[in-house]
Chain A
């Protein structure tokens, strides 16, 4: 498609190829640079590989047909993930600005795209760092034996365990009561939980110290935060494979169910997972690649990082499910043991008379001879498959299922510390990208004086996010976080991603883009890139956007609540939202998305009413032609 929208004055806003060569040789400009290629790759890998790889992908994989899920995942990785990634890398490297700067250079009407990216990065950063605070809380609590989530506390008069804990489980109680102290509805705010506030302060200050000077400091931090998770995953894999039942878990994960491929939601979930997993449309990747040298091979980088991201997802799924298999087998053995114990005691059989193998025959025989006694015993049905498929995504996986598995392993505090350090590193390296996506546009927008050092920008961002993030430390904080996660981090990103593609291909111009890439890496992008950029990827994005919109609107009617008085306790209960939440949903999802057209309109009106300013562009003064950089050369 040779469609190209008119875009006057583009050449004046962007550095030409000659300018770029000169800047490269003279190393002019105050733009920071990567110390080496490894730092850049580690930072991008760290940004892309995050908590979603560990706790979202394994669940999707297992629930959408196991091994068969790899097919839609890999196909969409190639058709959607890699082209978008290459596009962001290339445009950042070419225009050498953060997200607001890039879109403003392409066209002043597109500044809204950069602002939307900044807003989304800000909102997502707010709640993502709260998850980091939770992880830090668990990490702080892992330095004791026995672990605090392995025991129920005693009730007031010391006659038994606390009722809430006895009815659910020790890990549930520790998560919902001692960590979150959750209320029963989103409008019951409760007060600030001081221990959560402390953890949140710890999370933000740690993030601040690591990203205080942008990539100068994060570039050093990523050597640890991007590599440590792989080390810990390997340790867990080795440990997991030596535990009983781990192979059952891995088999459960990868058992293919080809019928799931017919289900459209499998493909759409795969597409959404690929999109979110690559941290596209946050603006962070554009910033990071703008610090590269002009002839860096961005095509190679995009393919490499995509492969690493995909492989990490599969690898961590294997590790997670080996531990889940162990936990399920433990629960199954406990369940069977309990039933056999009850039978033995009721009928006074000698020990070891009833084993796992003859349990069913003995039960059937006894059921015929003494059915009333059997009824009175209340034996539970033990099913390994149901234990394997218990709630294994998101915070439920990390803070309930995995912690339960850890307390059954010997030397539990060590595994707990390792696990939470891994989660913390995964999240921290993603937060670096988020901070980059907020601070650099703030600087580009020139809302604050330019002379202020970067430390102040960073500090302000962290401070304001901390202050607003206190909402997540209320008793209803968990529900607010789920709201943010569902709406701020989903639809706006898809909208921005689609606009990015459209802007680069049709407003910047695919021809110009091809020439740029040829200038940067030495050869024109081949037919694969042309087809995916122009047709395939935008179409996939539109499909996913529509699908997500529809499911989110239907899902927005209810949310899950932990309520002791509900009938299904300890299962979470679905409750409808109060109506004022819809306003919040609109703010979270609508404001960033609407920033794009609103800004375009604003610029349009500004141009129309102040038409005289247009002529400034056409006056060719000497000072307009000379590149003004900070060091004046006389």
Chain B
């Protein structure tokens, strides 16, 4: 009888010591790449940082499951490597021997991913939860494509240029013609009376300076 109790006690204590192990069904592997992210300003990974991680994760669980008061002790960590990777599992505050479901943990992490990242000055790529893919940010799609705006500006300028180039010689010619006709009306008015000829059609400027008699 005593032996059975002893065996039961050993088994239960053994079970209680092993909720967290690599490839645990309800656990996740975390990989941090601090030197890659921060270069010279990288901090050293130590017990204090690990405490912060557990606290942040407890925060994430609390935010997701409102009401349940997760504590740092509910986050169990194991199998740390020099690479800075480790496995963690989350125990429920209501039932210390029971693990929180994998799916629930994933949702909690997704919701607070940004906060977890910024607590460690890392990004989705340098603080990896193996198995939880980061949500992709869609590229920004403005309503009017910017290229249409530039196209409109260029075409407007070109159109204005064409109009200016086509119209300006006509305007100049008209202005010159008005000046010329004003001058010649004074000059040749008498001559017109002399010859008795009426001016008809378009005034031909090539003849305006020539004498009446053609030179051979």
Residues of A within 8 A of B (CB): 136-137, 139-141, 143-144, 151, 153-154, 158-161, 195, 198-199, 201-202, 205-206, 208-209, 212-213, 217, 344-345, 348-352, 455, 631-632, 634
Contacts and interface: CB of A to CB of B under 8 A. Distances in A.
B122 to A, nearest CB: 13
Contacts of A140: 146-148, 150-151, 154
B8 interface: no
B166 A455 contact: yes
A56 B168 CA distance: 42
A350 B84 contact: yes
Contact of A349 (B82, B149, B214): B82
Nearest to A337: B36
A143 B83 contact: no
A137 B162 contact: no
B47 to A, nearest CB: 17
Interface string B45-88: 00000000000000000000000000000000000011111000
A208 B166 CA distance: 11
Interface string B138-155: 110000001111110011
B73 to A, nearest CB: 27
A143 B147 CA distance: 7
Given A206-B158, A631-B206, A154 B83 contact: no
B12 to A, nearest CB: 32
B83 A345 contact: yes
Contact of A212 (B31, B159, B166, B214): B166
Contacts of B150: 139-140, 143
B215 interface: yes
B35 A143 contact: no
A212 B165 contact: yes
Contacts, number: 76
A342 B100 CA distance: 31
Nearest to A198: B151
Interface in B116-167: 136, 138-139, 146-151, 154-155, 158-159, 161-162, 165-166
A202 B155 contact: yes
Contact of A154 (B136, B149, B165): B136
Interface of B: 31, 33-36, 81-85, 136, 138-139, 146-151, 154-155, 158-159, 161-162, 165-166, 206, 210, 214-215
B167 to A, nearest CB: 11
A154 B139 contact: yes
A617 to B, nearest CB: 27
5 contacts: A143-B147, A208-B162, A348-B81, A350-B84, A351-B34
Given A202-B154, A352-B35, A143 B166 contact: no
B36 A212 contact: no
A140 B151 CA distance: 6
A3 B64 CA distance: 98
A144 B138 CA distance: 16
Contacts of B31: 345
Given A140-B147, A140-B151, A634-B210, A351 B162 contact: no
A205 B155 contact: yes
Given A143-B146, A345-B83, A634 B136 contact: no
Nearest 6 A/B pairs, CB to CB: A140-B147, A351-B35, A348-B83, A348-B81, A350-B82, A140-B150
